[in-house]
Amino acid sequence: MKTQNTTKPIGRFDPLNDYLFLKVFGEKGDEVQLLGFLNAVLGWAGDDRLVSVEILENRTFTAEFMGDKASVLDVRAKLSDGGRVNIEVQLSNLKNMDKRSLFYWSREYAAGIKGGQDYVNLDNVIAVNIIDFDFLATENFHTVFHLREDREPDIVLTGVLEIHFLNMVKWRRLEEKDIAGDPLHRWLTYFDRGSPPELIAEVKKMDDAIQTADERMVYVTGDEEAIRAYEMRQMAIYDMNTRHLEGKMEGIAENTLEIARKMKAMGDSAERIHVITGLSAETIETL
């Protein structure tokens, strides 16, 4: 039974909270907005445009699951052309996005065949990663990867693998955004929690699928249990980022101590070590 929430947090809900994203795009009944988003990402139009999608649900939400920082809340679907798609939102930079994406792509690919079947039955799999940290040495906010021959990149080994990265950091840096002409620009404007309300209203008017997604988000966030799950996922993301930052700072501190040890072993004065490393005289004395 749906219980209306009476204590909504101030400000706009984050569409890229992975739980909220899954509720808006990954459940039965979410096909309209999922189709709109996928066609925008894939750039398919005309006769190539996706006309239907089957959402594959595989999640049971418990308090333990929602609070687990390692949980992956991905959207899985079967496309009208027979292929499969896996969408993941990743807001924390754990320095493993390349291998992580390949792992989840391979899991979905292997799931497309049963024991004894011919490999020809394996479906193409498209992985779409929406990330909110800087990744890859390119200025492009949308990057796409296939299996190509090194010296002749026009030769593709197979079309079974296609991996997309939508980089929200690079998207925000983009000076000229074309929300009128590019549907993907409209979607990323909607996903960006920092977009002003008047701009959100504009992209909703331009795109029926975005309007449908927003209506679904409003419905989902009217439920108190959904709000609790949303906040648990927000806290899990915060904890993960905090833990990663602490680990990074510990690494920096250990590197600084190692530099100080080497300087001391080489006969540098405590004053010089302090100037170079910033360590206190007491710490230098104990090295």
pLDDT on residue 200? 97
Coil vs helix vs strand at 255: helix
**Domain segments of the chain: what residues?**
18-222, 242-286
Residue from 148, 144, 196 nearest 167 by CA: 144
Cα dihedral across residues 34, 37, 41, 46: positive or negative: positive
Cite the beta strand spans of 80-141 per DSSP E: 84-90, 125-131
Q: How far is CA 93 from CA 141, 174, 272, in A?
A: 16, 21, 36
Classify 89 as helix, strand or coil.
strand
Rounded Cα distance between 173 and 109, Å, is 34
Q: Is 162 helix (H, G, I), strand (E, B) or coil?
A: strand
3-class secondary-structure state, position 205: helix
Q: In whole angstroms, give the CA distance from residue 40 to residue 45.
A: 9
Residue pLDDT, tens place only, 6-28: 444 446 899 999 999 999 999 99
Q: Give the sign of the dihedral formed by CA 188, CA 193, CA 195, CA 201.
A: positive
Q: What is the pLDDT, as a whole number, of residue 239? A: 62
Task: Show the tokens assigned to 60.
Answer: 């049971």
pLDDT value for 8: 45
Task: Quote the pLDDT of residue 261.
Answer: 79
Question: How far is residue 212 from each of residues 33, 93, 144, 206, measured CA to CA in Å?
Answer: 6, 30, 27, 12
Sites in the chain below the pLDDT cut of 50? 1-10, 248-249
